[in-house]
Amino acid sequence: MQLLQEVIQYTQSHLAELWGALGDHLLLVLIALGFSMAVCIPLGIWTARSKAVSAVVLNTFNALRVIPSIAVLFLAIPVWGLSFTSAVIALTLLAFPPVLVNTDAAYRTIDPAIRESAKGMGMTAGQILWRVETPLALPIIVAGIRTAATEVIASATLAAFIGIGGLGVFVVRGFALYDIAILLVGAVPVALLALSAEIILEAAQRKLQPPA
């Protein structure tokens, strides 16, 4: 009970800073997800057309998953310095694998008979892609975005380690001062953001599911 009171008191006394940190956090997340989708969805559509290309590209991007987020962040620092750009690049690379893998799988698993039927109706390759394949692929693509969003929201806290801001500022401060209340002021909103993204994207995924 005392801990809860301390969290509330600290939040009230640092409300402006908390809102600013939340804004920074959301900006990092949205830019990273936007870049990853802009790169990986077209790339996934392309790799799905060739097993050989798919194997090479997916294995390369999956290798990113074994590199800790903090390591990617620190690797970006020598090139871009202690900057917003470094944080965005690290988070974008983190989001690449789930978006790319799911996009590739979404288009690869479409029944070839569906494409043949569309061809038989006189559709062009572009029409088949956008009118037939993409509506079928969207639920799986959104599932990849959902995974990426959760990972990026959590990992964006690391930006505070290089002075970029975000909700991680309170987490780092809490650790430095051995103050759990301050730590929770940053950690709880991060958890709520991740949960909200999960709920919203899961609902979108169900909405996009084609009728059986």
The C-alpha atoms of residue 71 and residue 23 are separated, in whole angstroms, by 24
**What's CA 126's distance to the chain center, in Å?**
28
The C-alpha atoms of residue 129 and residue 49 are separated, in whole angstroms, by 12
pLDDT in tens, the chain (212 residues): 788 888 888 888 889 999 999 999 999 999 999 999 999 999 999 988 888 787 888 888 777 777 777 777 777 777 777 778 888 988 998 899 999 999 999 999 888 888 888 888 878 888 888 888 999 999 999 999 999 999 999 989 988 887 788 898 999 999 888 889 999 999 999 999 999 999 999 999 999 887 76
Cβ(161)–Cβ(73) below 8 Å? yes
The C-alpha atoms of residue 170 and residue 181 are separated, in whole angstroms, by 9
Domains and CATH numbers, the chain: 2-208 (1.10.3720.10)
- Among 168, 14, 23, which residue's Cα sits nearest to residue 90? 168
What backbone torsions phi and psi does residue 178 show, to the nearest 5 degrees? 55, 45
The C-alpha atoms of residue 61 and residue 101 are separated, in whole angstroms, by 9
The C-alpha atoms of residue 139 and residue 136 are separated, in whole angstroms, by 7
The C-alpha atoms of residue 136 and residue 138 are separated, in whole angstroms, by 6
